[in-house]
Amino acid sequence: MSDTETTKGQAEAQPSKNRMFRKDKPWDTEDIDKWKIVTITKEDVKQPFSEESSFATLFPRYREEYITETWDYLQAALGKHGINCELDLVEGSITVKTTSRTFDPYIILKARDAVKLLTRGVPLNKALNVLQDDVNCDVIKIGSVVHNKERFIKRRQRLLGPNESTLKAIQILTGCQIFVNGNTVCALGSYIGLKNVRRIVLDCMNNIHPIYHIKQLMIKRELAKDEKLKEANWDRFLPKFKRQNAKKSKKAPIRKKEPTIFPPAPAPSKLDMQLESGEYFMKQAEKEKRQREEKTEKEIASAMRRHDERSKAFVAPAEAAESISDRKRKRETAKETEKQDAKADLEKLRNKLKAEAQNKAVKKVAHRVSDRSVRAEEIRDYVE
């Protein structure tokens, strides 16, 4: 028992392979908010950086004119943060470097992102927003997702929508600025918004319409306003869309001809056909007579066909004759029903008048009897 206890203690003392070379971090406690944005000022840095960091970014030739026009504004904006930038028109590149005046260690990455957005077709005033602490960027490459050029153009246009209405809706719901240019989509905003934008763009290029994601984001925004449902699971409220593929019509299977050893039979020649019909052995006068007979037969057949076609215009259609007879039959039945209804109404009126006459007679007799009884009572009273 003692040996087993010692082995267990040794196993617990040895760390796992994943944590073997990790050191303790006494400053990393649970009360630290790791997502909090920390702003660094010049007073926080006591001495300049010991090493120089630099990034070079290439730009296409069609952006050269715009970059040269806005170069002074870019230098002034980056100079406020202590970043130096160089333009090389021969190589077609922009290089950003840290200097002794740089105080923020992360600003060099922000400057690299700003230059990257500028080379991707984003205007300078929008690209410089990346230098802010609460703004991030994401460059989504969509050129390699769809290989067919026509299909790629249609799906990219689907992301924009009519009059860019779909793109505006995505910008409002995600809180990000989106720029579609060529084979890339650039986005500026928060981390959560950039994550949603990347998912919408890639799904759109994979033939999933952005309207489905827009509906989900609208429902999520309304649920986030409710304090009771803020921390609950939202899966029951979100719509679930199934991908439906259009059924393709099945083509009839092509039957392959069975391979044969013998070649196909040759088509019969004119001479073979004359030998088979016996025309080859006929005299010239008989041949001409036969040809004249065939010609007259064809003329008679065509004349009869034309005569039949002309006579069709003078034949009354069968449907019209049937409709006239049906109309006559309907009229006769309607007259008979009217007569029967009139007879029934007369019988009802006669019965009603008879009943009224009987009631009047009964009332008269009752009135006379009542008058006689009253008079008899008066006579008795008078006699008494």
How confident is the model over 179-196, as pLDDT tens digits? 999 899 999 999 999 999
What pLDDT score was predicted for residue 380?
57
Condensed to tens digits (0 to 9), the pLDDT of residues 127-142 reads: 999 999 889 999 999 9
How far is the C-alpha of 300 from the C-alpha of 291, rounded, in Å?
14
pLDDT bracket for residue 1 (50, 70, 90): very low
pLDDT bracket for residue 366 (50, 70, 90): low
Residue pair 198/141 in contact (Cβ under 8 Å)? The answer is no
Structural domains of the chain sorted by starting position, each given as residue range(s) with its CATH number in brackets: 38-133 (3.30.1370.10), 134-240 (3.30.1370.10)
- Check whether 6 has a pLDDT greater than 70: no
Condensed to tens digits (0 to 9), the pLDDT of residues 295-348 reads: 999 999 999 999 888 888 887 766 544 566 777 788 888 888 888 888 888 888
**DSSP 3-state of 299:** helix
Residue with the bigger pLDDT between 383 and 264: it is 264
Number of residues that this document lists for the chain: 384
pLDDT bracket for residue 53 (50, 70, 90): very high
- Check whether 3 has a pLDDT greater than 60: no
Q: Among residues 208, 188, 84, which one has the least CA distance to residue 140?
A: 188
Mean pLDDT of the chain: 84
Residue with the bigger pLDDT between 63 and 6: it is 63
Burial status of residue 200 (CB atoms within 10 A of its CB: 0-12, 13-18, 19 or more):
buried
Q: Which of 2-6, 132-136, 332-336, 363-367 has the highest mean pLDDT?
A: 132-136
**DSSP 3-state of 187:** strand
- Check whether 231 has a pLDDT greater than 70: yes
What pLDDT score was predicted for residue 361?
72
What pLDDT score was predicted for residue 381?
58
- Check whether 4 has a pLDDT greater than 80: no
What pLDDT score was predicted for residue 253?
79
Q: Which of 28-37, 201-210, 237-246 has the lowest mean pLDDT?
A: 237-246
pLDDT > 90: what percent of the chain? 42
- Check whether 379 has a pLDDT greater than 60: no
- Check whether 13 has a pLDDT greater than 80: no
Half-sphere exposure of 120 (CA within 13 A, CB side): 24
Residue with the bigger pLDDT between 84 and 242: it is 84
What pLDDT score was predicted for residue 75?
93
Handedness of CA 315, 316, 319, 322 (dihedral sign): negative
Condensed to tens digits (0 to 9), the pLDDT of residues 78-91 reads: 999 999 999 999 99
How far is the C-alpha of 222 from the C-alpha of 68, rounded, in Å?
46
What pLDDT score was predicted for residue 375?
53
Average pLDDT over residues 252-260: 78
Residue pair 185/177 in contact (Cβ under 8 Å)? The answer is no
What pLDDT score was predicted for residue 298?
92
- Check whether 350 has a pLDDT greater than 50: yes
Residue with the bigger pLDDT between 377 and 49: it is 49
Condensed to tens digits (0 to 9), the pLDDT of residues 117-130 reads: 999 999 999 999 99
pLDDT bracket for residue 12 (50, 70, 90): low
- Check whether 102 has a pLDDT greater than 50: yes
Average pLDDT over residues 99-127: 93
